């Protein structure tokens, strides 16, 4: 197995955490997002979405990080990480979806603003090679997000913190008494909040410390920094 | 006890209905009239404070995310398996559902609701519409309804949605030229996820969804419409969906399944 990943990519970190939890070391190919290597023609030939991570396994190329996490859990069942019963599995998957629809897109927008994101002209020239929806999102970023969008994104991030706190009120982990793919998927994103000046409720801060203490997370902690890049597209219709 | 609080057998609202009928699991259907904004009224908000449908309640456990809830239904109840066994096939199923949920279904919803729902608000009192908006808990849903009520969806957004839907039709037709079902050799949740919004396309987008332009998608639509489980779910509606589905079956030459 070969994992294409980038330091600073929260989605990449989630996959690396799960590999480490499983005790598996894939071959790694590192991309430099600071220099937009994920948009290079060499990488786009492998993954037309121009996003990381991408897992090459059994001659196939797998994208979409939460689906990769489930693939790994089903291919390497020990230790099981999707949750011990259907309720826990629902909660893990609910968070796998929420991180894509609500957390990652809004974090990317808030992060772009907080880090004064910019794209050099030579990288902008390469945007035409992206899929139209990815290209459109990057062009919006380069133009700068308006105040209304920034307010909506900040609100969504704070609401996500409250929602996380709700599920953590009586549990050490998001889906209950065991660490699951839900924790692995959400953690690398929320771990960036503090650096960007985005507050989290106390229950979430405690959970962040609990996740950070896991050896699987310790092993990649230097890769958890924020980079001014776009995430998934924000929802276009509610 | 299993209760499904939802609107019609359509899109997200229909996913649990289709899924439970395919599994053969009995449940109580609590109809939420979206046209009357019942999903933003106190009785439903007591079930799901987010005011989104569907809400599925199984022995006190409430689920409001329709795709993860379909996986729950497949795991928690007996009946035919609705997910492939092979991990790669499951990956395909999940990626396709994600594409459907995040890209295709919202585009179709934008197109359909602007065509069907937006004109209904044209003559209404703006203050009353504002009061209705104020009852919507989630800001992203509120902003969507605001665009509908005040006919404020940018035309460029609708054009982009049209592009995405046409692209998805071509993409699914390509998959179905190679595979029997969307995630391979067996019917799965991916088929339910797509069928829930595609069932009516032979009428709604007949220029693109017909035997000449998208023969593989048409073959799949006939196979889905002929399934007794999906048909039974489509017959549960209380509004236009049930008649619409019957019209599509007639157009496709699909027989009515025995009740």
Residue ranges per structural domain of chain B: 1-82
| Residue A206 pLDDT > 90 | yes
Integer angstrom CA distances of residue A180 from A91, A177, B39: 9, 9, 32
Confidence at A238, pLDDT banded by 50, 70, 90: confident
- Residue B12 contacts A where some CB pair is shorter than 8 Å: no
| Residue B259 pLDDT > 80 | no
Q: What is the pLDDT of residues B194-231, one digit of tens each?
A: 999 999 999 999 999 999 999 999 999 999 999 999 99
Any idea what the Cα angle at residue B138 is, between residues B135 and B139, rounded to 5°?
Answer: 100
What is the C-alpha to C-alpha distance for residues A174 and A187, in angstroms, rounded to an integer? 10
Q: What is the pLDDT of residues A89-143, one digit of tens each?
A: 999 999 999 999 999 999 999 999 999 999 999 999 999 999 999 999 999 999 9
Exposure class string for B11-41: b at 16+ Cβ within 10 A, else e: bbbbbbbbbbbbbebebebeebebeeebbbe
Q: A77: Cβ–Cβ under 8 A, 6 or more apart, which residues?
A: none
CB A143 within 8 A of CB A135: no
Which residues of A are less than 8 Å from B98 in CB distance? 64, 66-67, 97, 100
Q: Report the pLDDT value the prediction gives residue B38, as an integer from 0 to 100.
A: 97
Taking the domain B1-82, which CATH number applies?
A: 3.40.30.10
Percent of chain A with pLDDT over 70: 100
CATH level 3 topology of A86-214? Glutathione S-transferase Yfyf (Class Pi); Chain A, domain 2 (1.20.1050)
Which residues of A are less than 8 Å from B141 in CB distance? 238
Q: A21: Cβ–Cβ under 8 A, 6 or more apart, which residues?
A: A79, A81, A179, A184, A214, A216
User: Mean pLDDT of all residues in chain A?
Assistant: 97
Q: In this complex, which of B69, B87, B95 lies closest to A64 when CB atoms are compared?
A: B95
Strand A27-30 to A2-5 pairing: parallel
- Residue B7 contacts A where some CB pair is shorter than 8 Å: no
**CA of A105: which chain B residue's CA is closest?**
B102
Using alpha carbons, select from A194, A196, A119 the residue that is nearest to residue A150: A196
Mean pLDDT, residues A144-160 = 97
What is the C-alpha to C-alpha distance for residues B19 and B67, in angstroms, rounded to an integer? 10
| Residue B1 pLDDT > 80 | yes
What is the C-alpha to C-alpha distance for residues A196 and A179, in angstroms, rounded to an integer? 26
- Residue B72 contacts A where some CB pair is shorter than 8 Å: yes
What is the C-alpha to C-alpha distance for residues A149 and A139, in angstroms, rounded to an integer? 15
Mean pLDDT, residues B172-179 = 98
> Where is pLDDT greater, at B123 or B252?
B252
pTM above 0.80, yes or no: yes
Domain map (residue ranges) of chain A = 2-75, 86-214
User: Mean pLDDT of all residues in chain B?
Assistant: 97
**Residue with token string 């096939």:** B89
Query: Under an 8 A CB cutoff, do B139 and A63 touch?
Result: no
| ipTM topping 0.85 | yes
- Domain A2-75 part of CATH 3.40.640.10: no
Q: What is the pLDDT of residues A28-48, one digit of tens each?
A: 999 999 999 999 999 999 999
3-state secondary structure of A48: coil
């Amino acid at each position: 197995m070969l994992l294409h990943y980038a330091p600073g990519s929260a989605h990449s970190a989630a996959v690396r955490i799960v590999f480490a939890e499983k005790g598996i070391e894939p071959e790694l190919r590192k991309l430099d997002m600071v220099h937009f290597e994920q948009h290079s023609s060499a990488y786009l030939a492998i993954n037309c979405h121009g996003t990381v991570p991408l897992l090459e396994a059994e001659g196939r190329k797998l994208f979409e990080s939460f689906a990769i996490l489930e693939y790994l859990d089903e291919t390497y069942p020990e230790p099981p990480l999707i949750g011990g019963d259907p309720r826990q599995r629902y909660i893990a998957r609910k968070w796998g979806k929420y991180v894509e629809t609500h957390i990652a897109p809004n974090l990317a927008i808030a992060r772009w603003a907080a880090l004064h994101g910019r794209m050099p002209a030579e990288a902008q020239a390469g945007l035409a090679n992206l899929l139209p929806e990815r290209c459109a999102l990057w062009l919006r970023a380069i133009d700068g997000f308006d105040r209304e969008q920034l307010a909506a994104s900040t609100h969504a991030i704070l609401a996500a913190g409250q929602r996380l706190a709700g599920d953590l009120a009586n549990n050490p982990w998001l889906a209950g008494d065991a660490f699951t793919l839900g924790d692995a998927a959400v953690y690398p994103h929320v771990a960036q909040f503090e650096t960007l000046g985005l507050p989290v409720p106390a229950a979430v801060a405690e959970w962040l410390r609990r996740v950070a203490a896991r050896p699987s997370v310790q092993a990649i902690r230097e890769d958890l920094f924020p980079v001014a890049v776009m995430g998934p597209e924000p929802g276009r219709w509610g | 006890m299993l209760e499904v609080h939802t609107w019609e057998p359509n899109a997200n609202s229909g996913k649990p209905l289709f899924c439970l009928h395919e599994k053969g699991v009995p449940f109580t259907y609590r109809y939420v009239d979206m046209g009357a904004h019942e999903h933003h009224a106190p009785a439903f908000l007591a079930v799901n404070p987010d005011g989104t449908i569907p809400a599925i309640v199984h022995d006190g456990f409430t689920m409001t995310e329709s795709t993860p809830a379909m996986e729950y239904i497949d795991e928690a109840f007996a009946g035919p398996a609705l997910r492939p066994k092979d991990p790669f096939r499951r990956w395909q199923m999940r990626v396709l559902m994600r594409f459907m949920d995040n890209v295709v279904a919202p585009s179709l919803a934008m197109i359909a609701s602007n065509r069907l729902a937006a004109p209904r608000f044209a003559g209404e009192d703006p203050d009353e519409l504002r009061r209705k908006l104020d009852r919507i808990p989630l800001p992203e849903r509120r902003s969507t309804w605001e665009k509908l009520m005040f006919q404020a969806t940018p035309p460029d957004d609708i054009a982009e949605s049209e592009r995405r839907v046409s692209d998805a039709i071509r993409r699914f037709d390509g998959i179905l030229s190679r595979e029997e079902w969307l995630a391979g050799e067996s019917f799965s949740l991916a088929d339910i996820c797509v069928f829930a919004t595609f069932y009516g396309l032979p009428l709604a987008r007949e220029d693109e969804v017909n035997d000449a332009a998208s023969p593989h998608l048409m073959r799949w639509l006939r196979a889905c419409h002929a399934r007794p489980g999906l048909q039974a779910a489509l017959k549960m509606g209380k509004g236009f969906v049930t008649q619409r589905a019957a019209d599509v079956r007639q157009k496709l030459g699909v027989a009515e399944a025995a009740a």
